[in-house]
Amino acid sequence: MIFIFAVIAMFVAVSVYFFFKAESLQREIILMKREVSNTKKENKVYLDSVAIIAQRYEEIAKQKLLYLKDKESLDTRVLELISPMINNYAVIFSDSIRAKGKLQSAVKKVYEGYQKDSYKAFSNHITQSNTEIKRAWSSNNINGCILLVDALLQIDKKK
């Protein structure tokens, strides 16, 4: 009889222990769910901010390109060559921000959608450009994307 009471007491003690352990784990899960929810909200705000920045810079770059096209002393072939990159800046920016090494593949996708062999002509233009443009292109990241567009528009202004 004492043995049965001891087994029952041990069973009750283990049950109470696991009950309180489960309660504390449940509280931790609730806290983690809140943290994950807050993190998702913050990430959404950051992504929206980045998208707005990309769109605004695309508008600025388009305005610079239109300004350069209006000048008659500039090489229109070069301006037409960089137009797809400027006009799709937000798309290229978004692709480049997702992972390192995506700039060139994003630009290739845009140019191949624009015209056949236009990417080849664009990459040839880059290889014949100055070191600033080459360095920005070879970095193949988001920073390179920003520097490349700026350098392409600055170089063409100086011509």
| pLDDT tens digits for range 38-60 | 999 999 998 888 889 888 999 99
CA distances for 126 relative to 17, 88, 93, 144, angstroms: 69, 18, 18, 13
**What pLDDT score does 76 carry?**
78
Exposed, middle or buried: residue 87 (CB in 10 Å: 0-12, 13-18, 19+)? middle
Of the pLDDT bands very low, low, confident and very high (cuts 50, 70, 90), residue 35 is very high
Average pLDDT over residues 118-140: 89
Reply yes or no on whether the pLDDT at 78 is more than 70: yes
Of the pLDDT bands very low, low, confident and very high (cuts 50, 70, 90), residue 74 is low
The mean predicted confidence, pLDDT, of the chain is 88
C-alpha to C-alpha distance for 98 and 137, rounded to whole angstroms: 17
* Cβ atoms 77, 118 nearer than 8 A: no
**What pLDDT score does 159 carry?**
44
C-alpha to C-alpha distance for 96 and 88, rounded to whole angstroms: 12
C-alpha to C-alpha distance for 86 and 153, rounded to whole angstroms: 9
**What pLDDT score does 16 carry?**
95
**What pLDDT score does 10 carry?**
95
**What pLDDT score does 156 carry?**
45
C-alpha to C-alpha distance for 13 and 64, rounded to whole angstroms: 76
